Amino acid sequence: MTTRAGFVALIGEPNAGKSTLLNRMVGAKVSIVTHKVQTTRTRIRGIAMAGETQIIFVDTPGLFRPRRRLDRAMVAAAWTGAADAEIVVLLIEAHRGLTEGGKAVIQTLKDRAIEGQRVALAINKIDKVKAEALLRLTEEVNAIYPFEETFLISAERGHGTEHLKEWLAQSLPEGPWLYPEDQIADLPLRMIAAEMTREKLTLRLHQELPYELTVETEAWEDRPDGSTKIDQIIYVARDGHKGIVLGHKGETVKTIGQQARAEIASFLDRPVHLFLTVKVRENWLNESERYTEMGLDFRDGHA
Ligand SMILES: Nc1nc2c(ncn2[C@@H]2O[C@H](COP(=O)(O)OP(=O)(O)OP(=O)(O)O)[C@@H](O)[C@H]2O)c(=O)[nH]1
């Protein structure tokens, strides 16, 4: 039996559909999907098995022009993820075509070309455009950079994604698997659970609290009765934000807790008791420690 294994980086502008594609390939919800851009803050990996091949995805933060320090760290993290991978897949959106941001990403791909690395293009959201437009876009993009392969996909509907997965599988190098077969993600479950709570917070509080909050799972206890007790802390950047998260008489955090609990319980397939605490951690956006915890290299933030 010949096994294969390797890393695949999905890169692209925010909202291109990286998380959706990752979730489809991996078949489990490891990365949050919302309508808001730049939700992916962690370098989350998912693992897909395709025949005898283990495909390990590096789900990089969206690539965009950095504004704040955290943004710079995210962009640097995205490119670091790409450099570590055997294969890079650039996602662009069919209906948006070749944007300025897309061109900039392709230019960086050219500049950072790594010997032996394979680079493919995936035009996503093909459900939104006509076939002729896809042909034109394929030619237009490949004229700037000759991608090894171009895939026309709809990550959301699953069109073309199996074909892409097969190509990835056969393009990775021969070698032993890097993770146990039954492992769906190398993220500890507690981090996935924290992401689920953060997703509920983001959906509920999107206007009031853009990105300045994090959720960490503090304690995790699998009880003998088959249930799991999870304690999580919601960190906000300012004292004033605490009240927003709590809501009137704690109604907001209660609703968020109920929604998150239901999702975590369904993911774990067991009853869950979820306890949420809101704490203030001022200036977390500038704490180097936090970047490290989020999988971002702070030093790269100055690049
Ligand atoms: N119509 C359509 N929508 C899609 C498709 N793939 C993804 N989307 C939608 O596009 C939006 C963004 O998808 P994400 O997967 O969150 O994008 P992302 O690239 O991970 O975004 P960031 O985390 O911000 O970098 C979501 O609302 C998805 O439902 C597709 O094939 N067709």
Question: From the CB of 16, is ligand 1 less than 6 Å away?
Answer: yes
Rounded distance between C-alpha atoms, residue 243 and residue 241, angstroms? 5
Amino acid 69: pLDDT: 56
Residue from 10, 13, 20 to probe ligand 1 pocket by mutation (most atoms less than 8 Å from CB): 20
* Region(s) of the chain under CATH 3.40.50.300: 4-171
What are the two backbone dihedrals, phi and then psi, of residue 16, each rounded to the nearest 5 degrees?
Answer: -65, -25
% of the chain surpassing 90 pLDDT = 37
Element containing residue 277 per DSSP (H, E): strand 272-280
Give the count of beta carbons closer than 10 Å to the beta carbon of residue 132: 8
CATH superfamily, domain at 4-171: P-loop containing nucleotide triphosphate hydrolases (3.40.50.300)
23 is in an annotated binding site: no
Computed from CA positions of residues 259, 262, 267, 273, in that sequence, does the dihedral angle turn out positive or negative? positive
| The two three-digit tokens of residue 267, written as one number | 């993911």
Query: Does the model's ipTM exceed the 0.90 cut?
Result: yes
State the distance from the centre of ligand 1 to the C-alpha of 93, rounded, in angstroms: 9
Q: Which atom of ligand 1 is nearest to the CA of 157?
A: 31
Residues of the chain predicted below pLDDT 70: 27-45, 59-82, 179-188, 207-212, 282-303
- Copy the structure tokens of residue 21: 């594609």
- Paired tokens of 245: 């998260």
| pLDDT at site 190 | 74
189-302: CATH topology: GMP Synthetase; Chain A, domain 3 (3.30.300)
170 φ, ψ to 5°? Answer: -80, -15
What pLDDT was estimated at residue 295? 45
| Pocket lining: 262 vs ligand 1, CB cutoff 6 Å | no
Distance from residue 18's CA to the centre of ligand 1 (Å)? 7
100/95 Cα distance (integer angstroms): 14
The residue whose C-alpha atom lies closest to atom 11 belonging to ligand 1 is 15
Alpha helices in the chain (DSSP H): 18-26, 69-84, 100-111, 131-144, 161-171, 189-205, 239-246, 251-268, 288-293
The CB of 212 under 6 Å from ligand 1? The reply is: no
- What pLDDT is attached to residue 35? 35
Type of residue numbered 278: V
Ligand 1, atom nearest to 31 Cα: 20
Start and end residues for every CATH 3.30.300.20 domain found in the chain: 189-302
Single out the residue of 27, 60, 48 nearest to residue 267, CA to CA: 27
Two tokens, residue 17 = 């559909």
Rounded to an integer, what distance in angstroms lies between the CA atom of residue 295 and that of residue 3? Answer: 29
Residue nearest (by alpha carbon) to ligand 1 atom 32: 125
18 is in an annotated binding site: yes
With a 6 Å cutoff on the Cβ, whether 129 touches ligand 1 is no
Question: 44: closest CA among 33, 52, 35, 53?
Answer: 33
Q: CA-CA distance, 177 to 55, in Å (whole number)?
A: 9
* 13 is an annotated ligand-binding site residue: yes
